Homo-oligomer: A and B are copies of this chain.
Amino acid sequence: MPDPDTTLRARLVEVGVDLLTREGPGSLTLREIARRAGVSHGAPRRHFPSHLSLLSAIAQVGYHDLGGRIAGLREHADPRAGLLDLGRAYLDFARTQRGMFELMFRHELLRGNQIGLRDASRQLFGVLVDLVTRARHGLTGPDPVVVAGALWANLHGIAQLWLWGSLQMTVQTDDVDPLLRAALDAHLGPA
């Protein structure tokens, strides 16, 4: 199944992503990944100094994926519609790539900023700032960067709440679109 031509480093990440989406973050063991890649349990160490760094590499694939879905929205003609699409993409990612999403925002990973997670987030945030700036062009109000930060916080919070079912429990719905629209209206002003 795994392509024997690719280097082991790449194959480990690939196997990890596959394992993650297939069986969840709980099975992302160093040894299990090595097993599925067909190598001994010591082999990964030649490419990743620790288990955590391998997990980080896997998470980075997720950031890249999410970034790819969002990057195209930067030039959206209608910035507000672009933001709505961005939010939907973000929430859709959390919904469909749940395991990856959980991995990406694990505290252990983010704490030790070992890799380009920050770069990835920054790029993602850049798109957000651009769209917000354009959406609020000519309007008074707080700094677009603050608005973008608040919006991201809102967006991420919705994803979290949805993920562990708090929405179903409180707002009594799994439809996040109203929450998303409410957030946009709130932070950008009424349409």
Chain A residues within CB distance 8 Å of chain B: 25-26, 102, 105, 107-108, 110-111, 113, 118, 121-122, 125, 142, 145-150, 152-158, 160-161, 163-167, 169-172, 178-179, 182-183, 186-187
Contacts and interface: CB of A to CB of B under 8 A. Distances in A.
Contacts of A157: 152-158, 160
Nearest 9 A/B pairs, CB to CB: A153-B157, A157-B157, A186-B186, A110-B164, A154-B154, A156-B157, A149-B171, A153-B158, A186-B187
Contacts of A179: 146, 149-150, 153
Identical subunits present: 2
B153 A161 contact: yes
Contact of A182 (B107, B147, B171, B183): B147
